[in-house]
Structure 1
C-alpha cells in the first residue's frame, strides 16, 4: 500500500494525503519515495492549478522524521535521510502551482517544515506544532531555520527554535505561522474552498504571482520590483488576460483556460 495517496478534485485541485496514520504520518524512507513519485504526477499534470497536502487519520498532519527507522542508521545515513527530506520539501516549495497545507493534529519538526514549504497554511483549532529539534540535541535540517525566519522574522524564529516550544494552533496563528484557523470537522471543507477560490483565478497569473513573491523574498526591493515586472510581462500576451477583461465587461465569471 502506498504511504502517499494522490487524488484530483474538480480537475484542477491536486490532493496529497500522507498515509501512515499508525506512525503519525512520519517521514520514512518509503514515504519519501512515494511522495516524490506523487510529485512527479503533480508536475506532469498541466491541468492542476493548486495543490493541497494533508495527513491521514485524526492525530497528525506529520510528526516529522521517523525516529524509529533512524535508530539503526549510521551518522552518514542520518545526514542523507535529512537531505532527502529537505530535497522533497524543496520540490513542494518550487512547484509552479501554489500549495496549501491542511494541518490537523501534530506537526512537529519535519512536519512543520513541510507546512513551511507550502505557500499557505490552514490549521484546525486543535492542531499543535513546533520546530522542536533542539530538545533532541539537533537542529531543524529540512529548511526550518531558513523558512521560519523568512515567514515570521528572525527574533520570533530564534525564540521558537532555540526554546523548542510547542505551539497551539491559536499561538501559531498569532505568530503568523498559519494563515487561517478552522474547526476540526470543517478543515478539509474550508481548505478545498480556498483551493477552489485560487483555482478559479487566472492560472498563469496565479503562477507568476507565486513566482514573483518567492523569488523576490530572496533579494532587495529594487531587484524584487524587476522580478515582479518580468513576471507581470508573462501574463500580458495570454488569452487568459483577454478573457478576464472580456468577462469583467460582460459582468460574468471568467472561464480561464491557462493559455
Structure 2
C-alpha cells in the first residue's frame, strides 16, 4: 500500500481509537460503579476493539503466544508502545499495573486505573516509590490478579537498549510471587511516538514462569535474558534488523 495512504489510515485509526475509548467509557462507567469487577469487562472490550480495528483499518494484526498467566503473578514485559499494553490487557483476566503516579490524573484512564487496583509510584522518589509499591501489593491494598510491570521503567524503541531497573527484582523478592516474563515486537509497527502505524503482525509472547526463591542477581539476569532474547527474535521475525551489542 502506498506510504501516504498508510499515513491517512493511521490517522483515522488513532482518531477512532480515542473516540471509542470515550464512547465505551460512557457506556461502562455506570456498570463499573454498580459492580467494580465490571472494570475488567470494560477494559477487555476496549482492548479487543483496538486489536480488531488495528487489523482492519491499518492492516496491523496481533497475536498472543505462550500460556496466558491467570493466577496471582507478576508479568514483567518489554514495553515498546501503547500496543503491548493493549495486547496484554486484552487477555489477562484481572490485570493491574505498576505505573507512574501522574497517570491517575488522566481523564478516563486514571479513574479506570484506580478501579483496576493499579499501584501508582512517584518516579522522582525511587527509594520511597519502591517501598510503597511493595507495601501496597503485600498489604492487600490491591486485589489479587496479574501485576504488570515494565522492568526498564519506560517505553523503549525497537532495537534500543536501556538498563533493567531493580524495582522488579525487589517486588519479586519481597512479595514471593512468581514472575512471567514477556517479550514483544510491537515497536516495529507501532512506535513510541508519532502517528504512523505499519502493517504486519505484532506479537506479545508470554515466556516460561520464573519460579520463586531465586536471589536478586540471578532473577534479574534471567529476566533480562529471557525478555531480550524473545523480543529480539520477534523483531527479527518481523523483518527488523536488531543491532548486536
TM-score of the alignment, normalized to the shorter chain, above 0.5: no
TM class by shorter-chain length? Answer: 0.3 to 0.5
TM-score, normalization by structure 1: 0.33
* Structure possessing the higher relative contact order (Cα contacts under 8 Å, 6 or more residues apart): 2
Compare CA radii of gyration and give the structure with the larger one. Answer: 1
